[in-house]
Structure 1
């Protein structure tokens, strides 16, 4: 079991929207990578990877990093993510409403193209789920015999 480290060259190859400029110094991207590990584990192997291969897990970490960077840039530019449900011109009033989504996690990830890619990857990688039990599972993960 190991730890997946941030790779600046690989990140920039995947996401050319974050070029090597003062705005996107490696230290800044590394900070967002570190934040991304709060959502996606960087520990490979065992139950830490949620059934993903190391390549999928690395891609997921890079996508989460890009998602967080993109959201940060939106907020810094004064743009609040969300769907505008209403607006007033005089005395400025804006109403934002989250779009229909099955849950807040999906809604949050759908705020950026990188989050949308990540959500798709997580849905594909997690198909089938996990099974934990004390006996030998039968077909489709159901346990047959004593105890059920």
Structure 2
């Protein structure tokens, strides 16, 4: 029988100052490529980033809505062979959606957390890689101060 535990975390309040203008700020793929691009990290039109590592694994991520449209891992077998598995879904629907505050065993006495965030709230904050085995993309939701990290290895 598994025991459930509830952790209460107190985070300091942050004073967020947000500059505003008449038009929304958008990043061209060229500026994202200049700022974050490196070996294994490629930005393309439409606000997508493709992360690849040396073993051939890759993931395509839509930055505006944190939606994975293609995930291609290498699956290794014990006889030194491997099988490549590719999952690709259209940009308009499907994909692997981001889940925040996921509840594996919901408690009917607790409120269900909101797990969707408007796509215009996501901001790319960091991209890192070692160009060989691991890639990481950090995206941030300013409204709720949540940070999500996608990693492929």
Q: Same fold (TM over 0.5)?
A: no
Give 1 or 2 for the bigger CA radius of gyration.
1
In the superposition, the TM-score normalised over structure 1's length comes to 0.26
In the superposition, the TM-score normalised over structure 2's length comes to 0.26
Comparing both structures, which one devotes a greater share of its residues to helix? Answer: 1
Comparing both structures, which one devotes a greater share of its residues to strand? Answer: 2
